[in-house]
Amino acid sequence: MIPKPESLFSRITERVLGFSAARLRQSLKMGMKSLWAHRLRSLLTVLGIVFGVCSVIAMLAIGEGASYEAQEQIRRLGSNNIIIRSVKPPEEQVTTTERSFVVEYGLRHADIQRIRSTIPGVKVIAPARVIRRNVWVANRRADCDVIGVVPWYTDISSVRVKRGRFFTDEELNRDMNVCVLEEGIAQDLFPITDPIGQSVRVDADYFRVVGIVEPRSDPNGKGAEEKTDQNTSQPQGAPNRMYIPLTSSKSRFGEVLVRRSTGSISAERVELHEATVVVADLKDVVETAQIIEEILRSNHKKKDYEIIVPLALLRSAERTKRIFNVVLGSVAALSLLVGGIGIMNIMLATVTERTREIGIRRALGARKKDITFQFLIETVLLSTTGGILGVLLGLAIPFLITHFAEMRTIVTLWSPLIAFSISAVVGVVFGIYPAFRAANMDPVEALRHE
Amino acid sequence: MSDDNTIVRLEEITRTYQMGAVSVSALRGISLVFRAGEYIAIMGPSGCGKSTLLNILGCLDRPSTGRYYLGGLDVSQLKDDELSAIRGARIGFVFQSYNLIQQLSVLENIEVPLYYQGVPEKQSRERARYLAELVGLGERLDHKPNELSGGQQQRVAIARALANDPLIILADEPTGNLDTASGKEILAIFGDLHAQGKTLVLVTHSDEVAERAQRVVRLRDGKIEYDSET
Ligand SMILES: Nc1ncnc2c1ncn2[C@@H]1O[C@H](COP(=O)(O)OP(=O)(O)O)[C@@H](O)[C@H]1O
Ligand SMILES: [Mg+2]
């Protein structure tokens, strides 16, 4: 015979608590009644818990969202990649504002060669040059990063061809005037016609569009745009990108870039703006980065390059997140502690106030255990009600933040569950002492209490 | 030594309160036997130990020395939980100040002792309704105590005392807070209960009240001064 679930549950509660399920239900009902009798007081009592729980959930959601964004940005750079970029050394930056002369700095093809021949595990190296230019179609204009890359750039970056194709090895070798546009700029320049097969003009050169790539989903990502002209009118944000063969970039735009900044003209010669090293095994990424650093250091007089290791960034982002969680956990624990003390305080007052009732119940057959249970249930009901309110509020806040501040928030399933369970535990922990006090009153004394 | 219908047997009960260095002897050797169906009035001047005796009879308090048999069971040295069980099942209390639970309705107040005996909700509700009607409060089931007169509240308390069909009903000055008319009503109910064969012990100051009882026990300074039985 299989016992009915009801009676099984009843037997379990009987064993564990010394009460049947029916008693438990009755006690819950009684507890709710007595809390409802003092609605306002109950509400004020649980506010601490409400805000504690709510802030835990909301802050976790904001933190999760922020860390997700950061990790996404880093991941988009590719965790197997090591990115090397040319950086203008600071001394030169000062002098160029005063005088005008050609500054030479940055990565060279020779560096790439050296890296390639020194490190065997390296799969592909895709050098890139970045030049900021206006791109024209008839009298339509778009400000744009013109990026010289190699055909296999798509294999190692997050750039995905949407329509058409990327340019080929042959087009690279013959430094042909072909280009691939990002979807955004393609729409700006060709609002009604199909851009593929059409031409765009940069300075005096015309480039035939062979493909469209998907827009990068990280508008503020650490793309190559940071290393380009600073004197364009384009506001901070995402310059559109146009990809052309690396060879074409060199032959059309030369090796010297002239730029005008307030009052002075400066020219700089940069062979390569960016190169990406792809490491086959994730384990070797950090070590390879160190070797590259070593190679570059011994061949460059100044530190005119930077090495970005997305994997290391990812790791440090994870570490940051862990620290954030610890801080958050402490804040949460503290606020729940304060909330719990608030509840205990009120429950102690309630116990004193209801001394007479306790005496009556004891006279009518209540055991100490029954009294303990009654007050404990009330405290737990209070704190879990606070927990539920807190969870609801805590779910609403990230929603509102996402809605109005357009910030990404992520509510994980476990955060409301944990926050709620903690509120229940707070109820038990801080309810025990008042309940115990109530149960241990002498019945005769309690009955005499005014 | 005791006949079959003995309900209460007290043997040399004493109760001493320790107040720091001073000890107060509230009861100094009380021996009594109550039989089933008796209606006993306990009288005596204020401070003579009536309430103390009633608390011991009701298992709310334990004697310092002596033995107390309730329905044949020695309850003088039982554990706290066991005393609770006995109070719930065998004793019915009626207090001078009614002692109803304010946030509960008439019906719910009557149900309290049933709740602690684990009576299922439906049965308990039925029994409470029956008792409320018995004491003439059938129309006031959902009223709160503060919506009732003193006499009505005391009737609720009597209904509550009857809930578990106790061996003995103990009342400490049940008419002490009531006007004469209400007091008479309450005494009439006690009279009915006695007629039905219930065992009643009633503490009172009033000779008029005592007259209705079948037996009077008079205390003085924690000792029995007079017992109409002997
Ligand atoms: N809790 C207590 N602590 C100390 N003394 C008490 C306590 N309860 C009662 N007494 C003393 O015991 C004696 C009897 O009290 P009580 O039984 O209440 O008298 P009655 O009900 O007859 O007026 C009194 O002297 C009283 O002061
Ligand atoms: Mg008294």
Q: What are the tens digits of pLDDT across the range A49-107?
A: 898 889 888 888 888 888 888 888 877 777 888 888 888 877 655 454 445 566 778 88
Q: What distance in Å separates the CA atoms of residue B14 and residue B63, rounded to the nearest whole number?
A: 6
Residues A272-318 pLDDT 10s = 788 888 888 878 888 888 888 888 888 888 888 888 888 888 888 88
Query: What pLDDT is recorded for position B219?
Result: 95
The pLDDT mean for chain A works out to: 82
A9 or A30, which is more confident?
A: A30
B149 belongs to a structural domain: yes
Least confident piece of the model among A17-31, A84-98, A130-144: A84-98
CATH value at residue B185? 3.40.50.300
Phi, psi of A447 (to 5 degrees): -70, -30
**CB of B18 shorter than 6 A to ligand 1:** no
**Per-residue pLDDT at B198 exceeds 90:** yes
Q: Where are the domains of chain A?
A: 38-71+317-448, 88-303
Are the C-beta atoms of A291 and A116 separated by less than 8 Å?
no
Q: How many residues does chain A have?
A: 450
Q: Residue B97 CA: which ligand is closest? A: 2
Q: How far is the CA of B26 from the centre of ligand 1 (A)?
A: 6
pLDDT of the residue at B115: 92
The amino acid sitting at A441 is: M
Q: What is the pLDDT of residue A217?
A: 58
Query: Is the pLDDT score of A235 beyond 70?
Result: no
Q: For the ranges A210-219, A430-439, B77-86, B207-216, which has the lowest average pLDDT? A: A210-219
B-side interface with A, Cβ within 8 Å? 55, 58, 60-61, 80-81, 84-85, 87-89, 93, 95, 99-103, 112-113, 115-118, 120-121, 160, 164
* pTM, to two decimals: 0.72
Interface predicted TM-score of the whole assembly (ipTM), two decimals = 0.96
Nearest atom (ligand 1) to Cα of B50: 22
Q: What is the pLDDT of residue A184?
A: 86
B16 lines ligand 1 (CB under 6 A): no
A359 to chain B: which residues are within 8 Å by CB?
99
Per-residue pLDDT reduced to its tens digit, B162-196:
999 999 999 999 999 999 999 999 999 999 999 99
Which of the pair, A4 or B186, is modelled with greater confidence? B186
Average pLDDT of chain B to the nearest whole number: 93
Nearest Cα of chain B lies from the Cα of A431 at a distance, in angstroms, of 21
Residue A257: name the closest of A91, A146, A135, A172 by CA. Answer: A146
Instruction: Choose between A343 and A250: higher pLDDT.
Output: A343
- Please state, in angstroms and rounded to a whole number, the distance separating the CA atoms of residues B154 and B151: 5
Query: B80 CA to middle of ligand 1, Å?
Result: 22
Q: How high is the pLDDT of residue B49?
A: 94
Q: What is the mean pLDDT of residues A378-388?
A: 92
**Number of structural domains chain B divides into:** 1
Distance between Cα B27 and ligand 1 center (Å):
9
3-state secondary structure of A65: helix
- Min CA distance, B64 vs chain A (Å)? 15
Ligand 1 atom closest to B222 (CA): 14
The rounded distance, in Å, linking the Cα atoms of B49 and B201 is 15
Probe target for ligand 1 pocket from B19, B23, B24, with the most ligand atoms within 8 Å of CB: B24
The answer to whether the CB of A184 falls within 8 A of the CB of A176 is no
- Residue B142 structure tokens: 């959902």
pLDDT at B29: 94
User: What's the confidence (pLDDT) of residue A94?
Assistant: 47
Helix (H, G, I), strand (E, B) or coil at A178: strand
Contact B121 A368 (CB under 8 A): no
Q: Using 50, 70 and 90 to split pLDDT, how confident is the model at A222? A: very low
Q: Are A362 and A446 in contact (CB under 8 A)?
A: yes
Share above pLDDT 70 across residues of chain B, in percent, rounded to a whole number:
99
Residue B76 lies in a domain: no
Residue A127 pLDDT > 80, yes or no? no
Listed in sequence order, the DSSP H helices in chain B are 50-57, 80-90, 106-116, 121-134, 150-162, 180-195, 207-212
Task: Report whether residue B17 contacts ligand 1, using a CB cutoff of 6 Å.
Answer: yes
For position A371, what pLDDT does the model report? Answer: 95
Taking an 8 Å cut-off on Cβ atoms, the answer to whether B99 and A447 are in contact is yes
Interface test with A, best of B112, B131, B158 (most A CBs within 10 A): B112
| Top mutation candidate among B50, B52, B205 for ligand 1, by most atoms within 8 Å of CB | B52
For residue B199, give how far its alpha carbon lies from the nearest alpha carbon of chain A (Å). 18
**CA trace torsion A217, A67, A426, A348 (10° rounding):** -90
Q: Which of A364, A378, A436, A448 has the highest number of chain B CBs within 10 A, making it the mutation to test binding with B?
A: A364
Is residue B133's pLDDT more than 60?
yes
Among B80, B93, B100, whose Cβ lies nearest the Cβ of A368?
A: B80
pLDDT at B80 over 90: yes
| B19 within ligand 1 shell (Cβ under 6 A) | yes
Range of the domain at B99: 38-61+88-227
Distance (angstroms) between ligand 1 centre and the Cα of B225 equals 18
Residue B157, ligand 1, Cβ within 6 A: no
Residue in chain A lying closest to B111 (CA): A364
Ligand 1 contact via B51 beta carbon (within 6 Å): yes
Query: Which of B43, B48, B56 is the best mutation target for the ligand 1 pocket, counting ligand atoms within 8 Å of the beta carbon and taking the most?
Result: B48
Per-residue pLDDT tens digits for A326-360: 888 788 778 888 888 999 999 999 999 999 999 99
CA distances from A22 to A33, A34, B103, B112, B123 (A): 17, 18, 22, 15, 13
